[in-house]
Amino acid sequence: MVAKKKRRKKRRNRQWLKNFFVKNGHLRRFNTFLVAVLIFALAVFISDLSSQPAPPTKTASELQYERRMNWLNSMAPYAQELQQKYGILASISLAQAAHESNWNNSELSSKYHNFYGVKAGPTQKSVKMPTAEFENNQWVTVQAPFRVYDSWQQSMLDHTLLMTRGTLENPQRYYYVLHAKNYVDAANALVKAGYATDPEYASRIINIIKTYRLDRFDTSR
C-alpha cells in the first residue's frame, strides 16, 4: 500500500513538471524562458563566488609586528602613569623593555618578570643567568645576578626608580635621561650614563621607538 502511494506521488510530480513546460501539446515559452534565466543567474552567481580572491593572509612579519604592538599597547598606560609621576619618557620605558627582554622572550623576563636586565644587590631576591657584555671591544658572556620581580609592573617601576634615584655612587647618574626633551636625547643619555655596554644601544632603542611609533605615548613635558 505504501509503495503504491509513493508511485502515485512520483507520477503526480512528473505530470506537474511536464505541465509546467508543455500545455495542450505546445511548449510554454514563458515558463521555459524563466527557468533558463534562473539557471543562467545561478551559473553567474557560482562563477562569481569561485572567482573572488581569497582574503589575504598575513605574513609572518606582519603577525610578529601585530603581536609586538599589542604587547606594547598593553603596557603603555602604566608607562604613561610613571612618566607623569617621575618624568621618564613612556617611549623609553617601553622600548627598553622590548629590547632588554627580547620582546618578553627571554627567560629573565618571561619567568622572573625582569624586563630591563636590572642586576641584583646583595640582599635582593635574584637569579644567576648568563648575559652578554661588551668589554675590551668584544662581546663576552658572563654570569651575573639579576633581580627577580613578582610582576612586570614591579619591574617597570624599579627601572623608573633607578632612573630617578641613580646609584649609590652617583644619585644624578641618569639626570639627563629624565630631563631629555625627546626620546633621541634620552636614548643617547642612557649610553653616556653607562646603562648598557652595547655601543649600538641608543640606536637600537631609537629604532624600536620609530618602528612602533612609541613616541605617541609620551605625554607633554
What is the pLDDT at residue 185? 98
For 33-49, write each residue's pLDDT tens digit. Answer: 666 767 776 766 676 66
- As annotated, the active-site residues are 133, 158
What is the pLDDT at residue 35? 65
pLDDT beneath 50: ranges in the chain: 2
Per-residue DSSP letter, 147: E
What is the pLDDT at residue 33? 65
Query: Using CB atoms within 10 A of its CB, is residue 145 exposed (0-12), middle (13-18) or buried (19+)?
Result: middle
Q: 139 CB contacts (<8 Å, ≥6 apart)? A: 132, 133
The residue type found at 162 is: L
**Prediction pTM value:** 0.72
Contact between residue 208 and residue 99 where contact means Cβ atoms under 8 Å apart: yes
- Separation between Cα atoms, residue 118 and residue 66, nearest integer Å: 27
Task: List the Cα angle 66/67/72 in 5-degree steps.
Answer: 95
What is the pLDDT at residue 15? 63
